[in-house]
Amino acid sequence: MLGSRRLFGTNGIRGVVNKELTSEMTIKIGAATGTFFQRGTLIVGFDARTSSPMLAKAVIAGLNATGCNVLFAGMAPTPALQYAVKNHKTDGAVIITASHNPPEYNGIKVVWNDGIELSREQEIEIENIFFDEKVCYAEWNKIGSTRDLPGTIDDYKEAIKRHVDVAGIVNKNYHIVVDTANSVGSLAAPHLLRELGCKVTTINANIDGTFPGRTPEPRPENLKDLALTVKAVDADLGVAYDGDADRSIFVDEQGETHWGDKTFALVEKYFLKDNSGEKIVTPVSSSTLVKDIADAYDGEIVWTKVGSVTVSQTMKKLNVKLGGEENGGIFYGPHQSVRDGTMATALILDIMAKTGEKLSRLLGELPKYFIEKGKVECQNELKEKALKKLTEQLSGLNPSTIDGVKIWFEDKSAILMRPSGTEPVYRLYAEAKTEEKAMQLVREYGSRLKRLIYSLKS
């Protein structure tokens, strides 16, 4: 939890269950949320964590107590629940999930009637109701009802199929390996892929809230089993999802795992070929690759702060159809303006089927960059001071301060230094045309930042 008078972090409320996030608290969060929605109708669903059914019941009790009606969708991927909000035209949703966090965590995402998580201003309204004891309980005869909402995942799969050439994909009989991290990805993606004519090999597909297979964060270093399986069964590609299946990371047929901004750039390329002149939304942590593709195919990049809600809100505000993140979030607006791992998988298959090319070839054709990441320790209370000083020091290099400090150099290398929202560290993302240069940037700017932070302490 985030200290006094703050419940929501960058992606909802998160905490260790029965310590930082208890059932009692969740009832009250439900009641504060219900007060905020003023007796609307909300969808409630949850991920595969051991604590999720318990917390879903608690949040429903709070919502009903304040007169909100609940449509209970049960266990489902986050994007399927977000789609259900649009599909059933409800006032919003409350989703019990801690996304990619370890199994002892859980969390609460609150979604508005457009399927997007609440803006920070809306979250503050809920926090004020919660901390100022402004919950507005209903009279005994105005208590909300709860009824089951079946068919959420079937509706979601059908919606995704409307955005790709189903017959074209079916014709190819692709073999795909799917790693769902023992979580809710198992409920949608393998089934959809079979409906798309794919032979599906699953790993970590049994639902198990202890996440025995791998951590639910899909980073290349956690996906060795997936990469090996793709090679071993001679599949056309592999895909891994995070704990609530809104992010996807892909492995090509040669067993190479790719960062999310690369697969996003591929989707962007084929999107811009059909939609030239469109804007593309992406956080400053994404690779220059995304800009290269926009330049080559007549698109325009809108850089934002890091965070999926910011990407969604910016897409909505500017009426943009495509967004993406380096961590594997792809936001396909014609379907919904939120990241969606299963939609992303269908889009990649669609591109493979239309071009007849293998994934390694499609990704190999993109401009090549070497990415290097690092971190520097920094106490939370020094973060802002360090940022100010750093921006001053680097003013000659024309830094961007959309989020942290980013410098784009003329040789197409770049460095981003950004305070973490959750840990006492600065994160460094460097990229360059050679591996040595990317490593050198992390070393050079890492030690520069370390010195600067040290000077602030004395």
Q: List residues binding Mg ion (CB under 5 A).
A: 99, 242, 244, 246
Q: How many Cα atoms occupy the beta-carbon half-sphere of 24 within 13 Å?
A: 3
Strand order in the sheet with 69-75: 13-16, 105-111, 92-96, 41-46, 69-75, 146-148
Annotation says 99 is catalytic: yes
In the complex with Mg ion, the residue whose CB is nearer, 37 or 156, is 156
Q: How far is the CB of 360 from Mg ion (least distance, A)?
A: 26
The 3-state DSSP composition of the chain as helix, strand, coil percent (nearest 5) reads 40, 25, 35
Q: At closest approach, how far in Å is the CB of 95 from Mg ion?
A: 10
User: Which residue is closest to Mg ion by CB?
Assistant: 99
- 99 versus 222: smaller Cβ distance to Mg ion: 99
The residue written with tokens 């220059």 in the block is 288
Give the span between the Cα atoms of 76 and 82, in whole angstroms: 10
What DSSP state is assigned to residue 91?
Answer: S
Q: 265 or 309, CB closer to Mg ion?
A: 309
Q: 294 by DSSP, 3-state: which?
A: helix
Q: CA separation (Å) from 247 to 22, 46, 339, 342?
A: 27, 16, 7, 8
Rounded to a whole number of angstroms, the minimum distance from the CB of residue 184 to Mg ion is 10
Are 179 and 238 in contact, with CB atoms under 8 Å apart?
Answer: yes
Residue 180 CB, nearest approach to Mg ion (Å):
12
d(CA 55, CA 50): 10
Task: Indicate the residue among 241 and 369 with the shorter CB distance to Mg ion.
Answer: 241
> Which CB sits closer to Mg ion, 42 or 98?
98
Closest contact distance (angstroms) between CB of 243 and Mg ion is 6
Catalytic residue, from 99, 183, 186, 287: name it: 99
Pull the structure tokens for residue 438: 């990317």
Cβ 99 to Mg ion shortest distance, Å = 3
CA distances from 394 to 3, 285, 373 (A): 33, 18, 20
Containing H/E element for 43? strand 41-46
Residue with smaller CB distance to Mg ion, 246 or 326: 246
Which residues are identified as catalytic?
99
